[in-house]
Amino acid sequence: MSNKFKLIKVTRKEAPNANVFFIPCEEADIAEARKLKNLEYVVASRDSKDIRNLLHLRKYWTLVNLVLENLPESMSENIKTKDQLHQEFKVQTGNIEKRMSIGGHEYFAPKSISFEKMSQSDFDEYYEAVLAFVYRHILPNVDKEEFQIALNGYSDGSE
């Protein structure tokens, strides 16, 4: 099991009012979770003190969707999906790392923003850098206040 999450079986008697679920983030945790029977409780604890904010991550993906829907025509030729835009944001904001190819060539690749790989404080910085990039290079003429209102009220229809 991962060192980030510990899955502990708890009986119904020990946690009669528990009404929560967890989402394992590593393969080892997924394998452990599959062994659990229905109505079997687990406690997931994270070792890190910098717990990520799921609502902030959702707001980020709302931002990605909203920008994609309003992408200028000149940019929409190269970016057609939210994942492509997400990867572009990571590159443009410097959220990249140096890697080595099998052939021994160095290259840069976008880093992950997953809960496992990025602290909340780093995600806060990343989110602000993405917003600055959007305002500066993608939607430079947008009213920032109106955009924030649209962002807060946006729904991509998936919920």
Tokens of 89: 């944001």
Torsion of CA 63, 68, 74, 77, to 10 degrees: 140
Highest mean pLDDT among 38-42, 100-104, 154-158: 100-104
Q: Is the pLDDT of residue 69 over 90?
A: yes
- What one-character DSSP code corresponds to residue 106? E
pLDDT band at 115 (very low <50, low <70, confident <90, very high): confident
pTM above 0.75, yes or no: no
Q: Is the pLDDT of residue 83 over 80?
A: yes
Q: Is the pLDDT of residue 75 over 50?
A: yes
Q: Could you give phi then psi for residue 148, rounded to 5 degrees? A: -65, -40
Q: What is the pLDDT of residue 54?
A: 84
Q: Is the pLDDT of residue 93 over 80?
A: yes
Residues linked to residue 42 through DSSP beta bridges, in sequence order: 9
> CA-to-CA distance for 83 and 128, rounded, in angstroms?
19
